[in-house]
Amino acid sequence: MSRIGKRPVAIPSGVTAEIGNGTLSVKGPKGALSMGLSQLVNYKLEDGSISVEPANDGKAARSHWGMQRTLVSNLVEGVTEGFSKVLEITGVGYRAQAQGRKLKLQLGYSHDVELDVPEGVEVKTPDQTTVEVSGIDKQAVGQFAAEVRRWRKPEPYKGKGIKYRGEYIFRKEGKKK
């Protein structure tokens, strides 16, 4: 029995939600999002909340239940507050610079890495060693942050590389004489 799936998703004031044609559309102060609905789960829009229930007693329906409720919750949270991830760059000469819809990274390669910022995602660089990725779609924000981090993952000896803010890097001891 899903514990998270039992709780309905509250819709705050200023947010409208519609269910129709196999999609859930949510509009709020930050924008609009929609997602396709699973056939294994029933969605009900009632009293300023969205409730999610499995369509039948099968294992597949019960396994989709909690995840679908979380996806609905992410839509509502995205159009009200938005999501953000902060990346920190550590290393001598490693730096980042946002230039319009591009992110330029200098990570010790013989060339600069230029990444195109996808639609719906905003990138800011308050200083040369910090990258703030934000947007209303949680999946898009997390995916772009992971693509940036993939260029130079933190290594365990000196901790050089790109890491998420608050991420702990397991450090190893170097070799001894």
pLDDT in tens, 115-140: 999 999 999 999 999 999 999 999 99
- Give the H/E segment covering residue 140: helix 138-150
pLDDT for position 1: 65
In the chain, which segments carry CATH 3.90.930.12?
3-80, 83-164
pLDDT for position 110: 95
Q: State the chain's mean pLDDT as an integer.
A: 93
The CATH code that applies to domain 83-164 is 3.90.930.12
Does residue 75 surpass a pLDDT of 90? yes
pLDDT for position 135: 96
Question: Which one is the CATH code of 3-80: 3.40.50.150, 3.40.50.620, 3.40.190.80, 3.90.930.12?
Answer: 3.90.930.12
CA distance 75 to 140: 12
Q: What is the mean pLDDT of residues 146-163?
A: 95
Core vs surface per residue 23-54: b (16+ CB within 10 A) or e = ebebebeeeebebebbebbbbeeeeeebbbeb
**Confidence (pTM):** 0.90
CA distance 109 to 93: 10
Q: Tell me if 91 sits within 8 A of 161, measured CB to CB.
A: yes
Q: Tell me if 138 sits within 8 A of 83, measured CB to CB.
A: yes
Does residue 66 surpass a pLDDT of 70? yes
